[in-house]
């Protein structure tokens, strides 16, 4: 049983149609602490509020920070289910190894998430397209100046009721093909959800928006091969096969990406995980063989792409969901909201 501190006065809760994404936070958070030689404490649920961090904490100077993104969904029977929390617990542990942070035990991660969602269940939005977004975060907290692993750490979880990630809901987006900045390099942090990855992406995202694009299509260190789009993994449908970049060490292995691959293979669709060049994509587009492009991620689930833009060209595709993207979106969201059988055992009931 996770200890719970006395509750604060409840905050006003927004209507489902007011939510947006990541603008509101629930009444409580889960917090656990680590000390070298002692390990992790049990953790506890406490009122949502600011942390007191020493100004010399390693996270503030050396960027020792990781996070995850999970969603919980209201079910038809009135219950709440969390989508694949064990996947995110494992990915956080792998990222912790890369950043030399203490791995969070699966029980601490999953039990803390479940207890917090249960405590703040009255914040769960009910409308289709809404969910309770879960943000587990791991940071180094030891106060020192020197580049070495932190001997102290904090793991915390906050909740945010959310609507669609993009203001336009699930409409298709345009993406800017980035050939100046890099999201990640071989041997770096690209395969982790390190906070530093997102700080490094902001400049290119601003550049994309200045050109009328919603997101950035990141390329590899040679700028010849596609990697990710914005905060999502990327899929291409060329004729009767679906391609997605292989996890090469600089690409984040997304949970929604894994779901899509499993669902497509179950249905007999040819899926290739490999290096994909911009030249291959352009040639397929020019021949009319590039039928769909879409991004996948926890926040938006499936985001169809209708335009790819670079300095000299615009590659256009039909707007809205193609048949593959629509099928995957319906399958995944159907399982998340309990409309379809959870045949892969992805849901964890609260």
- Residue 131, pLDDT above cutoff 60: yes
Confidence of residue 167 (pLDDT cuts 50, 70, 90): low
For domain 16-163, give the CATH number.
Answer: 3.30.470.10
State the pLDDT confidence band at 170, using cuts at 50, 70 and 90.
low
Residue 6 has what pLDDT?
79
What 3-state class would DSSP assign to 214?
coil
How many whole angstroms separate alpha carbon 221 and alpha carbon 179? 9
For residue 143, the 8-state DSSP code is: B
Query: One fold for both 16-163 and 173-336?
Result: no
What are phi and psi for residue 61, nearest 5 degrees?
-110, -35
DSSP 197: H
**Coil, helix or strand at residue 73:** strand
CA torsion angle 182 186 189 192 (round to 10): 110
pLDDT of res. 151: 97
Residue-averaged pLDDT of the chain: 95
Average the pLDDT over 18-44 and give the result.
96
pLDDT at 309 over 80: yes
CA distance 273 to 236: 11
The predicted model scores a pTM of 0.95
- The tens digit of pLDDT for each residue in 77-87 reads 889 999 999 99
Are 104 and 96 contacting, i.e. CB atoms less than 8 angstroms apart? yes
Rounded to whole angstroms, the Cα distance separating 196 from 254 reads 17
Q: What is the phi-psi region of residue 226: left when phi exceeds 0, alpha when psi lies from -120 to 50, beta otherwise?
A: beta
Class of domain 173-336: alpha beta
- Tell me the pLDDT band of 231, cut-offs 50, 70 and 90: confident
Domain boundaries, the chain: 16-163, 173-336
pLDDT of the residue at 164: 83
Task: In whole angstroms, give the CA distance from residue 113 to residue 158.
Answer: 9
On the question of pLDDT at 169 being above 60, the answer is no
Confidence class for position 119, pLDDT limits 50, 70, 90: very high
């Amino acid at each position: 049983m996770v200890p719970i501190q006395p509750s604060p006065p409840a905050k006003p809760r927004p209507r489902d149609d007011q939510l947006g994404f990541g603008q509101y936070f629930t009444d409580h958070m889960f917090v656990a602490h680590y000390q070298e030689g002692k390990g992790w404490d049990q953790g506890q649920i406490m009122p949502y509020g600011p942390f007191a961090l020493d100004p010399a904490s390693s996270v503030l100077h050396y960027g020792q920070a990781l996070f995850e993104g999970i969603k919980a969904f209201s079910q038809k029977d009135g219950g709440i289910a969390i989508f694949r929390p064990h996947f995110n617990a494992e990915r956080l542990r792998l990222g912790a190894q890369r950043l030399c942070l203490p791995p969070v035990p699966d029980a601490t991660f999953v039990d803390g998430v479940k207890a917090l969602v249960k405590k703040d269940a009255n914040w769960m939005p009910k409308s289709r397209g809404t969910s309770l977004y879960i943000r587990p975060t791991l940071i180094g907290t030891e106060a020192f100046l020197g580049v070495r692993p932190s001997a102290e750490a904090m793991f915390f979880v906050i909740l945010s009721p959310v609507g669609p990630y993009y203001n336009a809901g699930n409409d298709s987006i345009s993406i800017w093909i980035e050939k100046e900045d890099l999201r990640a390099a071989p041997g770096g942090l690209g395969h982790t959800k390190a906070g530093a990855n997102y700080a490094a992406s902001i400049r290119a995202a601003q550049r994309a928006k200045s050109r009328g694009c919603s997101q950035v299509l990141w390329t590899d260190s040679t700028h010849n091969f596609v990697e990710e789009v914005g905060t999502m993994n990327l899929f291409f449908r060329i004729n009767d096969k679906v391609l997605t970049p292989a996890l090469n060490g600089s690409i984040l292995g997304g949970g929604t990406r894994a779901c899509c691959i499993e669902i497509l293979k179950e249905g007999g669709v040819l899926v290739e995980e490999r290096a994909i060049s911009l030249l291959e994509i352009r040639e397929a587009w020019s021949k009319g063989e590039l039928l769909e492009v879409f991004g996948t991620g926890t926040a938006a689930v499936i985001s169809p792409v209708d335009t790819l833009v670079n300095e000299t060209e615009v590659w256009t595709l039909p707007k809205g969901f193609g048949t593959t993207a629509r099928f995957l979106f319906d399958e995944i969201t159907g399982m998340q909201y309990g409309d379809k059988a959870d045949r892969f055992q992805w849901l964890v009931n609260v």
